[in-house]
Structure 1
Amino acid sequence: MGLWARYNKLLEAQPLLTKAFTSLIGFTAGDVLAQNFINEDGESYDVMRTIRLGSFGFLLHGTTGHYFYGFLDSKMPGTKPVTVASKVAIDQFFWNPIFGCMFFGYLNFTEGKSFEDYTKKLQSDLKTAVMGSWAVWIPAHTVNFAFIPPSQRLLYINTIQIGYNVFLSFLGNKKADDGEEKKE
């Protein structure tokens, strides 16, 4: 049995777990790429950063994506242009800011930072994350909702997410604008 067939068999038998592992791989790969190939500061590789991002993919991205996209598909089935446009709008104007809050909150929590640090991070970077998302995810989700079968949505998203996670990795780990140093 080929890899694709095995993946689909796992997706059918254990959809939530399979999507969670798919997201773990996507977020881990994105951070590995960010740290190894686009490291402008010359800092040494941060294994804990990769673990934080990978665990975010596994615990939050894969699971919430499974339920959110399943809900969206159940309430708005089909691929008519108005349906696709509506799904993209809901994803980008409602889910995207919620996802950003979860992402920054998870990193804040796993780094042991305060709620004040979290609110500063949201004020500093949430708008950038949301608007940066639009450039990638509006066209990507237009393809997603028009052509990708619902069961494959998270795999498609995670494939694109690898590149997008380079951006998220940098944004999530950049120092606060108020001059505070990032806690390790």
Structure 2
Amino acid sequence: MSGLWARYNKLLEAQPLLTKALTSLTGFTAGDLLAQNFVEGGDKPYDVMRTIRLGSFGFLLHGTTGHYFYGFLDSKLPGTKPVTVATKVAIDQTIWNPIFGCMFFGYLNLMEGKSWETYTNKIKADLKTAVMGSWAVWVPAHTINFAFIPPSQRLLYINSIQIGYNVFLSFLGNKEVPEEEKKE
């Protein structure tokens, strides 16, 4: 295990953006696999394209934007004093969280070839749920993250927790908007 950790850190040092994108690919793929196979169950067959969409979101958007966002946040608010940690958590959850939700739903909408109207209906129906659901997980997780996790390891830590959270995101992202909400 220490050899794997050493290789990960070597890759992280040599190719930080690619490494973080790959860890996000892994986290989002695993989250959707868990969602489809163990949470949703039912009569629906496994949807491989859904997993590819979620995994590619992790690789193309989550890992890359997370690399830059958390790097920016750490550069502007260095340190681990309680007020610094609380400020980072507040910025993450009040600014980044809704932006992330819009990116997530937008990416899925685009990859599924759905309309702008479908996207805006999805945002109206589910963004609030996604943001508020995030608070339960990410406020405590990011308090630990910003207080104790070295900046270079932030996205690995996030992706470790993200696997469980992605079960929720996968479910929410693939939930159909009820007809009555589409017309509002």
Q: Do the two structures share a fold, i.e. TM-score over 0.5?
A: yes
Match runs of 1:112-151 below 5 Å: 112-151=113-152
TM-score by length of 2: 0.96
Deviation string for 1:95-127 (max 9, x for gaps)? 000000000000000000000000000000000
Closer, same or farther: CA 50–179 of 1 in aligned 2, 3 Å = farther
Letter in 1 for 2:122: K
Instruction: Give aligned pairs, total.
Output: 180
Q: Pairwise mapping of residues 18-97 of structure 1 onto structure 2 (< 5 A)?
A: 18-97=19-98
Aligned residue in 2 for 1:15: 16
Q: Given residue 17 of structure 1, which amino acid in structure 2 is its aligned partner?
A: L
TM-score by length of 1: 0.96
Give the unaligned 5+ runs of structure 1: none
Aligned equivalent of 2:110: 109
CA RMSD of aligned residues (A): 1.1
CA distance in 1, matches of 2:159, 2:9: 15
Describe how 1:148-167 pairs up with structure 2 within 5 A.
148-167=149-168
Query: How much does 1:94 deviate?
Result: 0.3
Paired AA for residue 162 in structure 1: I
Q: Offset of 1:42 from its aligned partner?
A: 2.4
CA distance in 1, matches of 2:27, 2:178: 28
Q: Which runs of 4+ in 1 moved over 3 A?
A: none
Amino acid at match of 1:117: T
Q: CA deviation at 1:176?
A: 1.1
Q: Which amino acid aligns with 1:12?
A: E
- Offset of residue 179 of structure 1: 6.6
Query: Aligned partners of 1:176, 1:14: CA distance in 2, in Å?
Result: 40
Shift, 1:177, TM fit:
1.7
Q: Could you list the per-position Cα deviations for residues 128-150 of structure 1 after superposition, in whole angstroms to 9, with x for gaps in the alignment?
A: 00000000000000000000000
Identity, % of aligned positions: 83
Q: Does 1:171 align with 2:172?
A: yes
Go from structure 1 to structure 2 and tell me whether the alpha carbon gap of 1:45 and 1:112 turns closer, same or farther (over 3 Å shift). Answer: same
Instruction: Deviation per CA, 1:159-178: give whole Å up to 9, x if none.
Output: 00000000000000001121
Distance in 1 separating the partners of 2:3 and 2:16: 18
The CA distance in 1 between the partners of 2:43 and 2:122, in whole Å, is 23
> SS state of the match for residue 72, structure 2?
helix
Aligned equivalents of 1:163 and 1:13: distance in 2? 28
Q: CA deviation at 1:41?
A: 3.2
Residue type of the alignment partner of 1:36? N
